[in-house]
A and B are shown apart, each in its own frame.
Chain A
């Protein structure tokens, strides 16, 4: 589907005083490449570290220092391009993007302008209203800048160059997004793909993934409006808020008969507003030219084929496999593949077991509990083997689904082998018909009025089931209780 001709979706329009408006969004994502050393120098990329310790004389732009490109960063960019189903360019060129700022010691950023390493691709994004295709315009390699700290000193800005020269992939989308929800879903999906590929850790808190968001508005069916770029939004939630805020600002101006100035803006989450960043457009004259210190980057098809052969299974393929092989719903499969670690955990639980039962337990019990504790799968106190044992105990009738919840809680908080816990704490469900029958008879004998009621209104059966479960300490097999009650009450 050609997204540029995608008809406006009434559900996604924003109501204004003069009618409905459509928001058009394109994104530039800066993703820090996972590598040991920097793009053009041998200093460390590790986060943190004493100020200016992960800095070489190349990063500090001392005179005479020359850049030498890191082969792994090139591979990571190609892997990412392959993951985005994109055109890989066997020849690309590094350019200098010139501007002055204290955290850019070279006075220019080495980037790729006219000839990027990766061309057009596509990302499939699932939204509440179905799947959309988001076009990728390009991906290029560039250097990150250092970090300026403005709030530590009354009259000085402090500069740390540890991040200076770390490799970034700038991933530019086409203006294919039509709501803040779509934009958030796109970044989430892109982050998942990068994490699967192992080319970026996607850690937004540490700045490994940052978004510049281009926003414009138009009346449905009109040409694109003038866009504003909101720089450096560093969480998925803020991306959504920044788009909503900026779209409303632009609609307000247009409805008052004003005009949108193309400019760079900053989102302030505390004040819930975007504001202009630079007054002088002159600052944008980057005077790009090919970097004379670097030859064009060239590789052959075999280089690309080798990387392609070793790509991991990506989220879309994994989801399709979970649906086809495990019989999971698309929704459950989506939840499980969102993180590579979660999918691997699930597959370990599902191995040799009822895959749907395993998915239900992992999603409903484990994820629910982890969320409550603010933990992720990596810090789960319950192992896949322990969950598997609980699923087995349900499957062989040792415990009921209800007891399983109690058992899971014990395993989650205290640990231990579920099989041993069931025995030690007497948690086996009672399947002995004699014992259940005794309880059923007692309840029926003690409640003649209810018996009369249930015979008139069979939905009352639940009350009897509840009483029997109470009597047996919740350990009676629910199916056996149901069957016995129905037989004895004649319903």
Chain B
């Protein structure tokens, strides 16, 4: 599997990463090198092997349904570039 330059631009756009035209060729090379590296894993025979989801044998921990967090809007907004009346304020987005 390898990616062309159009795919590089598309992936960058989906990830909202600004990529200039002269970076595209370089990134294409890097992405293809990563893909080739990962593809080596395909050489291992994994027939009948359960996918491993954790390095330690445990199941998903569950927590009790109690309100134990929140009620600190000032902390939530502390890093916001802009806020208005307790809301995050962002450039107007209307679909």
Contact = CB atoms under 8 A, between A and B. Distances in A.
Dominant secondary structure at the A interface: loop
Given A52-B87, A100-B16, A295-B60, A157 B73 contact: no
A234 B46 CA distance: 47
A69 B59 CA distance: 12
A295 B54 contact: yes
Nearest to A151: B94
A149 B87 contact: yes
B88 A36 contact: no
Best-buried of B63, B69, B82 by chain A (most CB within 10 Å): B69
Contacts of A102: 88, 90, 93
Contact of A37 (B68, B71, B73): B68
Contacts of A109: none
Nearest to B75: A57
Given A70-B62, A149-B87, A287 B70 contact: no
A98 interface: yes
Contacts of A161: 76, 88
Given A71-B63, A71-B64, A156-B82, A52 B88 contact: yes
Contacts of B63: 42, 68-71
Interface in A35-89: 35-37, 41-44, 50-60, 68-74
Contacts of B16: 100
Contacts, number: 136
Contact of B69 (A42, A152, A287): A42
Best-buried of A36, A150, A156, A297 by chain B (most CB within 10 Å): A156
A53 B87 contact: no
B14 A37 contact: no
A312 to B, nearest CB: 19
29 contacts: A36-B65, A37-B66, A37-B69, A42-B67, A51-B73, A52-B73, A52-B86, A54-B70, A57-B75, A57-B76, A59-B70, A68-B62, A68-B63, A69-B60, A69-B62, A70-B62, A70-B63, A70-B65, A71-B63, A102-B90, A102-B93, A157-B90, A157-B93, A158-B85, A158-B89, A160-B88, A287-B14, A295-B53, A295-B60
Given A42-B63, A42-B69, A294-B60, 19 more contacts: A36-B65, A36-B67, A37-B65, A37-B66, A37-B69, A41-B69, A42-B67, A42-B70, A43-B71, A44-B67, A50-B73, A53-B72, A54-B71, A69-B60, A69-B63, A152-B84, A153-B92, A157-B89, A158-B85
In the A-B complex, the 10 residue pairs with the closest CB atoms: A43-B70, A72-B65, A42-B68, A158-B87, A42-B69, A56-B69, A71-B62, A159-B88, A51-B86, A52-B73
